[in-house]
Structure 1
Amino acid sequence: MDGKQLQHQYKDHLSDYRSWDQKEHAQDYILYPKNTGYNLCIDETTLSKGELYTILLNRDKRGRKGSIVAVVQGTKAEDIIAVLMKIPQEQRNQVKEITLDMAGSMHKIAKTCFPRAMQVIDRFHVQKLVYEAVQELRITYRWQVMKDENKAIKEARKQGVPHEPETFENGDTLRQLLARSRYLLFKAPDKWTKSQRIRAEILFKQFEDIKQVYYYSLQLGKIFSTNYDKDVARAKLALWYNKIEEYGYDTFTTVANSIENHYERILNFFVNRSTNAAAEAFNAKIKAFRASFRGVADMKFFLFRLAKVYA
């Protein structure tokens, strides 16, 4: 049978899509209050053409049937709240913990709809901010080096001589060194390959401040990975914050201030060590699901199929 014909037959006759009770409002939201559990996670996801949706999941279902609590178009807090308030108050009050990122809208949604739930900011979102600060410093130096190199090339042309950039012992020029160091700055030193170790030594010798902020990012990761007591973690995070303030790198200070603004909700990670990994894993499943559809031509039908499998 022709593939398109089979798809139409499934959509119109074999499935119960036409009688789906959420079909009328599926473009705006789908909601399954019965899937509300004690532990939830909320995140943004892209379903098609970069269009953002907010997805609420039951973390205890581990990405299997019964995982989806709600999928709502957009990220505006008021719109999400209006949908989630349709869940009976008794069920919403039973939620004990909800994991989320640092977005103010997510905090507002969680606080309004699940007032008794402990909010836990995902540790990986916090660490990502710090890694991005390290990369920003590397990129700033890279642009400066490119600017200086272009200037040197012009000067060499004027003098009628070839431009010969300095080359380090591993064969990198300064410009190549900064470009090729991107991935090693995301990894711990014990995960570096031999060539990355050599490149890191050269990079840190040339740029002491990149070395400094890189090791500050490692220290933060160590706090999250090795501490299991909230009060101990509180003290260590405070010490880390003080070091960042003393160091004075603007972007890192901004990151540290963001952490301070969400301090208690970040520290809640150390109560049960809960993360938003369930939401990230579910996003990957959505991408795979979308790929099997070869894109999304009919959003309502896509959400119907998604709900069939995961709601």
Structure 2
Amino acid sequence: MIDRYPLGIQTIAKLFGLEGKRLEEHYVRHLSDFMSWQAREHAPDWLLFPENVGPYLSIDETSLSQGELYTVVTNKQANGRKGALVAIVKGVRSDQIIQILKKIPRRKRYMVEEVTLDLAATMERIVIRSFPRAKLVSDRFHVQQLATDAVQQLRIEHRWQAIDQEN
């Protein structure tokens, strides 16, 4: 079961009678490659994994903590597992995101066939500029939401018409 549910560093420290914070610090400074990690300087603002680019991507914005918005690009074929994350960028400004996505080699960006996105114009702009050969596909959730809103609007209009006829 340990393989299936990896232990946290605090738990490992307890098991071996060590101070958790000290073991964590030792791991970061000496055992891991964190101190020499090339992305360390820009990691709070963006991370890019060009090796995860596939023909079918998704792009969306999300709030990870305290209302900070991030734009996330994922490989749909990975189904949320290892290799799914292509990019995560702090913010939703299209120019900034395009600049970062263009760091992906052109050959990889041109192999993208389809990108699923919401109905936001900024997301459309990002996809068109970053993955120029990709088809844009509106995600089902937003299309359903538009249809539901339209049906609701019609229902309200018909209700008012029925009330007017009764009066």
> Which residue does the alignment assign to 2:109?
92
**C-alpha separation between the residues in 2 aligned to 1:133 and 1:5?**
58
Task: Tell me which protein shows more strand as a share of its residues.
Answer: 2
Distance 1:97 1:9, change over 3 A: same
Measured against aligned partners, the alpha-carbon deviations of 1:109-149 in whole angstroms (never above 9, x if no partner) come to 000111111110001112123445677x7xxxxxxxxxxxx
- Report the Cα offset of residue 9 of structure 1: 2.9
Aligned residues: 143
The one-letter code of the counterpart of 1:23 is R
Task: Tell me which structure has the larger Cα radius of gyration.
Answer: 1
1:107, 1:125 → 2: CA distance? 14
- Quote the Cα distance in structure 1 between the aligned partners of 2:146 and 2:51: 35
Match of 2:155 among 192, 209, 218: 209
- Residue in 1 that maps onto 2:72: 55
In structure 2, do the counterparts of structure 1 residues 134 and 5 end up closer, same or farther at CA, with 3 Å as the change threshold?
Answer: farther
Q: Indicate the residue corresponding to 1:286 in structure 2.
A: none
Q: Name the structure, 1 or 2, with higher relative contact order (CA <8 Å, separation 6+).
A: 1
Question: Structure 1 residue 116 and structure 2 residue 116: aligned?
Answer: no
Give the Cα–Cα distance (whole angstroms) in 1 for the partners of residues 38 and 79 of structure 2.
25
Q: Secondary structure at the match of 1:25?
A: coil
Pair 1:15 & 2:32 matched:
yes
For residue 7 of structure 1, report the CA deviation from its aligned partner.
Answer: 2.9
- Structure 1 pair 210/5, CA: closer, same or farther in 2 (3 Å)? farther
Name the % identity: 49
Q: Which runs of 5+ in 1 are unaligned?
A: 138-207, 214-246, 248-311
| Paired AA for residue 44 in structure 1 | E
Query: Aligned ranges for residues 1-311 of structure 1 at < 5 Å?
Result: 1-131=18-148, 209-210=155-156
Q: Closer, same or farther in 2 for the Cα pair 1:116/1:8, shift >3 Å?
A: same
Aligned AA (2:108): Q
The secondary structure found in structure 2 opposite 1:63 is coil
TM-score (norm 1): 0.42
SS of the residue corresponding to residue 45 of structure 1 reads strand
State the 1:15 CA deviation: 2.1
In the other structure, the counterpart of 2:13 is none
- Where do 4+ consecutive residues of structure 1 move more than 4 Å? 132-135, 210-213
Aligned to 2:5: none
Q: CA deviation at 1:22?
A: 0.6
Amino acid at match of 1:34: E
Distance 2:94 2:70 in 1: 12
> Shift in Å at residue 89 of structure 1?
1.1
User: Residue type of the partner of 2:25?
Assistant: H
**Which amino acid in structure 1 is aligned with residue 60 of structure 2?**
D
Structure 1 pair 29/210, CA: closer, same or farther in 2 (3 Å)?
same
CA deviation string 1:143-172 (max 9, x = no partner): xxxxxxxxxxxxxxxxxxxxxxxxxxxxxx
**Structure 2: how far apart are the matches of 1:129 and 1:5?**
53
In 2, the alpha carbon distance for the partners of 1:33 and 1:209 equals 47
Shift of 1:2: 3.6
Moved more, 126-135 or 50-59: 126-135
